[in-house]
Amino acid sequence: MTDTALAATALGKRFGRRGGWALRDCTFRLPAGRVCAVVGPNGAGKSTLLALAAGLLAPTEGRVTVLGTDPASARTRIAYVAQDKPLYPQLSVAETLLVGADLNPERWDAEAAERIVAAGDLDPGKKIRSLSGGQRTRVALALALAKRPELLLLDEPLADLDPLARHELMGTLMARAAQYGTTIVMSSHVVAELEDSCDHLLLVGAGRVRLAGEIDDLLAAHTRVSALADARTAPADASPVSLPSGSAPGTPSGSPSSPGAAPDLAPHTVVESRVTGRQLTALVRPGGPLADGWRTSAPSLEDLVLAYLRNPQAAPLVPAEAEEAAA
């Protein structure tokens, strides 16, 4: 038993010798028993990362280990639900579950599989090819959960489910994770839904890990600040601006503030800043006490993720740094 469910060291994947890097220089560690959200824009490398962890792709460089070993050796202990939910179209729902039971004789939880399928009112005799996208997702999740995996890798598992099914299946996932100590790694674009269910975050952008760590630590490492902007910094419309110190987002701010200007943000790291009317707001990683004059508030997970997505040049915050910054 290892306390690390998934670890990557300088992990990189390039498709074809002349292709670009889908993932590059990714180093992070995910403790066992956590529910981890993988977020990032389209094409960021999320599916590639999950497929590498599932052992369906081989790294071009670096290393990925799951449950203390290489992905191929851990295959029976992992379940992976790919974005396109590959199932045999000619089989019925019931036959699909029987195949799952045959392939996983030691661990199969038939009762759980049947319960998940029944909760969607699926006719067990219906062929997979005649199911809707959301119904297929339900069958794929039933197969994955009934395998009682130690690590569950889910690539946008909830994307095609209706709101009630999303809620119900997310509840089932969380209940199983709590009951069996399952580690879940789940990519999603619906950040608001992750706040209550996930405790760890990996934000990937352009093939690199930009944020990694416990969500509480990452939130604690950031602060929203606001103050009245002076005329020098306040354009008429709401738009991203340079801060009073003139720092670029993602870099520690530098020059001193002028008399009457909003307080200086040096030496903090500015992730994003905006001026709306005369109000200047920013999301920063404080590098020490904030000057008097800033009103501060805690960001939500959605605030944090959106700020990094809007500012691809913002400085990354990765494992060791995340813990230090929150201390």
Nearer to ligand ATP, 39 or 325 (CB): 39
Select 14 or 126, whichever has its Cβ closest to ligand ATP: 14
- Nearest distance, CB of residue 174 and ligand ATP, angstroms: 23
Nearer to ligand ATP, 19 or 235 (CB): 19
- Site map for ligand ATP, 42-81, x if CB under 6 A? xxxxxxx---------------------------------
Least Å from the CB of residue 60 to ligand ATP:
12
User: Which residues from 210-269 bind ligand ATP, rule CB under 6 A?
Assistant: none
319 contacts 212 by C-beta, under 8 angstroms: yes
Residue 88 in contact with ligand ATP, rule: CB under 6 A: no
Residue 275 β-bridge partners = 239, 280
Residues 6+ positions from 128 with CB-CB distance below 8 Å: 87, 88, 89, 90, 91, 92, 93, 96, 136, 139
For the bound state, the minimum distance from the C-beta of residue 4 to ligand ATP, rounded and expressed in Å, comes to 23
Q: Shortest Cβ distance from residue 112 to ligand ATP (Å)?
A: 28
What are the residues whose beta carbons fall under 8 Å from the beta carbon of 282, sequence distance 6 or more?
A: 224, 225, 226, 243, 265, 270, 271, 272, 273, 274
42 versus 239: smaller Cβ distance to ligand ATP:
42
Nearer to ligand ATP by C-beta: 176 or 200? 200
| Residue nearest ligand ATP, CB atom distance | 22
The sheet that has 269-276: what strands, in order across it? 239-240, 269-276, 279-285, 223-228, 295-297
Q: 19 vs 293, which CB is nearer to ligand ATP?
A: 19
- Work out whether 179 is an interface residue with ligand ATP (CB under 6 A): no
CB of residue 238 to ligand ATP, shortest distance in Å: 28
Interaction pattern, residues 19-48, with ligand ATP; x per rule: CB under 6 A: x--x-----------------x-xxxxxxx
The residue (of 42 and 90) whose beta carbon lies closer to ligand ATP is 42
Q: Rule CB under 6 A: say whether 188 interacts with ligand ATP.
A: no
The residues binding ligand ATP (CB under 6 A) are 15, 19, 22, 40, 42-48
